[in-house]
Amino acid sequence: MAELHLPWRLLEDGITDPFLHFAVEETLLRRVSEGKSQPTFRLRQVTPCVFVGVFQDPREDADVDYCRTRGIDIVRRPNPGGAVYQDQGSFCYSAFFPKHPTFELLGIQETQDLYRIMGEIVVAWCKSFGISAKAAPVNDVEIGSRKVYGSAQVEMGTSIVHSGTFLVSTDIHVMEAALRPSRLKFMNKGFSSVRERVLNLSEAMKSPVDIREAMEHLVTECRQRMPIDLMPSPLTDEETREAHALCETKYARLEWTFPTRKPFSTTLSTKALSGVVILDLQMDGPFIEDVAVRGDFLIERQEQLASVSVSLKGKSIQEALEIVRQCSLPADISRALADLLEDGGHGHEGAES
């Protein structure tokens, strides 16, 4: 690794409210992208809750009634990926930083390369506990064939936040009851349930693991394997004020997590490399009247998907296919959308005949 090390803040703010938690996440990403806050490595835990990905519908991916009965909050996070259950037996980190010069020091060129870099760090984290693990594309780390860690990332301007979740001693029974993954989620993985898919570090070790120790091991691995100097420092007063304001106006509002969904005549889904892709279509004769894309897939720049969705309106299926095939979306998402559009076009032709 290069000798030059970048100064980063090590942040442990103690915020456990999941709504304020994500307001802090968005605030820090925006401020880092604007050069108003320093690069930050944030360690975090929350009260029992379900995080759903930004493109997911919690009514489909979580058992809302069960969560309400158990007092488990549900919040839609600002990054993509699938729904996860969090409690005091799990912890997360988020790394907020400008892509340059960090990418040069890491020896990478593309944002997606971060999944490999951080995956290697998590594999080393497991090894520090005497556990053998492997990175599983795109964004997981597995012990055996069971997931102990998953990650997601978002770009804003020239900066990025890369986040990961660790299972140390999470209540898997509650997790399984709180989540409702689609059958496509486990397709080709050999699993049929959450219980079969995930694994706590403590279960792998067959002994309890202190969550504080697990977090300290991660900081040690990051210090050794990344070109950064981590110095503990709290949130600034300005960051705190902005985060509280954003929580009040966005994350704490019911309509953020449970947005109103309009009805569509056709809904199709498939499994891409990075996750499930769901396409909602409303046709007006041979033309697309409206379109929406949902799922637990991964994409760094959400505005790319919004732009493509807008550009499809008013187009025929063939015109839409050309747009999707030539767009700047990740290749696996582009291919998945093209397949679904073709299926939607055939279905519409069948309905018309």
CA dihedral of residues 223, 227, 229, 230 (deg, nearest 10): -60
- Which stretches of the chain are assigned E, i.e. beta strand? 6-11, 40-44, 49-52, 73-76, 84-86, 90-98, 134-136, 140-143, 146-156, 159-167, 228-232, 266-272, 275-284, 287-295
For domain 6-257, the CATH class is alpha beta
Q: Let me know: does 121 contact 220? Beta carbons within 8 Å.
A: no
Maximum distance among all Cα pairs of the chain, rounded to whole angstroms: 68
Write the pLDDT tens digit of every residue in 87-137. 999 999 999 999 999 999 999 999 999 999 999 999 999 999 999 999 999
Arithmetic mean of pLDDT over the chain: 94
Residues 6+ apart with CB under 8 A from 179: 50, 61, 62, 63, 83, 84, 85, 194
pLDDT of 348 > 90? The answer is no
Helix or strand or coil: residue 19? helix
List the one residue out of 215, 77, 94, 233 whose CA is nearest residue 160. Answer: 94
Q: Let me know: does 295 contact 278? Beta carbons within 8 Å.
A: yes
Confidence of residue 191 (pLDDT cuts 50, 70, 90): confident
pLDDT of 1 > 70? The answer is no
pLDDT of 351 > 50? The answer is no
Q: For the ranges 104-113, 125-134, 218-227, 341-350, which has the lowest average pLDDT?
A: 341-350
Average pLDDT on 244-253 reads 98
What homologous superfamily does CATH list for 266-352?
CO dehydrogenase flavoprotein, C-terminal domain (3.30.390.50)
Q: Would you kindly state where each structural domain of the chain is located, as residue ranges?
A: 6-257, 266-352
Q: What's the pTM value of the predicted model, to 2 decimals?
A: 0.94
Write the pLDDT tens digit of every residue in 13-60. 999 999 999 999 999 999 999 999 999 999 999 999 999 999 999 999
Share of the chain above pLDDT 90, in %: 92
pLDDT of 317 > 60? The answer is yes
